[in-house]
């Protein structure tokens, strides 16, 4: 159908990749323009629907990202840092909206994404659900209001197949807390404690990562003060909420100028973040 946004999915053979495919197929304003897997994967050349164990979809699985990006207006990318950075260069050349849910990106990776964002829309978020992004806004506000007399700890739990820790969502919440305190998370994060660690530092933001079973994602931000604790939390029970958020970001990105955005922009929550009082 003319007028539909062509959305590609990178890493379509993975669990999240297949959910992204389903989310695109659900969206009436979009069409699945193509999918990629790593070169040499046994899905290459097959019909995507059949490879996923269902009816044919008329979409051939490709191991060539450039081929797929050439016929798309957006790409959904929940792959690995190495693949995402390679895709960012290609997406910038093709002027695609690059929607990134990949976690585990390092500082050098983020610098490369910033360069790519000068030429194309990049929406990157550790979590694309409405609830978590509202939680990040609330976390920043609470951190600002309570001040350093309350210690901040972030606890997250995910399934036993997750390979990185802390989760991208936990780090996103940590960034929100640090912003509320007007501090740099890199300088104040405590991402692992073992042995004789000494007393907790003022303005430290602690992270604890739990892994087990098939947990989709659970996050708590704990503000611990003298005589009281405030606990903010979010529980995800269905990964499709992340996939639908990514599709929403791809549609939103079609009307935006090149730049590096996140889900606060997509969901219209940036103004709420900006309303925080200055100290």
Active site (annotated) includes residue 41: no
User: How many Å apart are CA 243 and CA 16, to the nearest integer?
Assistant: 8
- Choose the catalytic residue: 98, 158, 219, 260: 158
Both tokens of residue 277? 């009082």
Q: What is the DSSP string of 64-84?
A: -HHHHHTT-SEEEE-S-HHHH
- Choose the catalytic residue: 41, 119, 141, 162: 162
| Cβ 5 vs Cβ 73: under 8 Å | yes
Closest listed residue to residue 34, CA positions, set 87, 80, 81: 87
Closest listed residue to residue 239, CA positions, set 261, 262, 263, 214: 214
User: How many Å apart are CA 177 and CA 143, to the nearest integer?
Assistant: 5
Q: What is the DSSP string of 17-37?
A: HHHHHHHHHH-TTEEEEEEE-
Active site (annotated) includes residue 162: yes
The residues assigned a catalytic role are: 158, 162
């Amino acid at each position: 159908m003319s007028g539909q946004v062509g959305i590609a999915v990178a890493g379509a053979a993975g669990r999240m990749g297949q959910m992204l495919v389903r989310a695109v197929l659900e969206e009436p304003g979009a069409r699945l323009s193509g999918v990629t897997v790593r070169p040499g994967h046994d899905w290459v050349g097959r019909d995507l629907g059949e490879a996923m164990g269902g009816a044919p979809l008329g979409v051939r699985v490709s191991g060539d990202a450039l081929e797929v990006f050439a016929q798309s207006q957006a790409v959904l990318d929940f792959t690995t840092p190495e693949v995402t950075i390679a895709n960012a260069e290609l997406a910038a050349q093709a002027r695609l909206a690059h929607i990134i849910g990949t976690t585990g990106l390092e500082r050098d990776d983020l610098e490369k994404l910033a360069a790519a964002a000068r030429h194309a829309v990049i929406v990157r978020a550790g979590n694309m659900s409405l609830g978590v992004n509202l939680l990040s806004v609330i976390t920043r506000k609470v951190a600002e209001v309570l001040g350093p007399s309350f210690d901040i700890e972030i606890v997250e739990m995910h399934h036993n197949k997750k390979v990185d820790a802390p989760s991208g969502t936990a780090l996103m919440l940590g960034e929100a807390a640090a912003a509320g305190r007007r501090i740099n998370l890199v300088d104040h994060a405590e991402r692992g404690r073992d042995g004789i660690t000494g007393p907790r530092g003022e303005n430290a933001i602690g992270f604890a990562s739990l892994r087990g079973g098939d947990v989709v994602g659970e996050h708590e931000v704990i503000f611990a003060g003298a005589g009281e604790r405030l606990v903010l939390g979010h529980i995800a029970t269905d990964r499709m909420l992340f996939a639908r958020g990514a599709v929403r970001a791809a549609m939103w990105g079609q009307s935006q100028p090149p730049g590096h955005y996140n889900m606060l922009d997509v969901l219209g929550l940036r103004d709420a973040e900006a309303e925080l009082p200055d100290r």
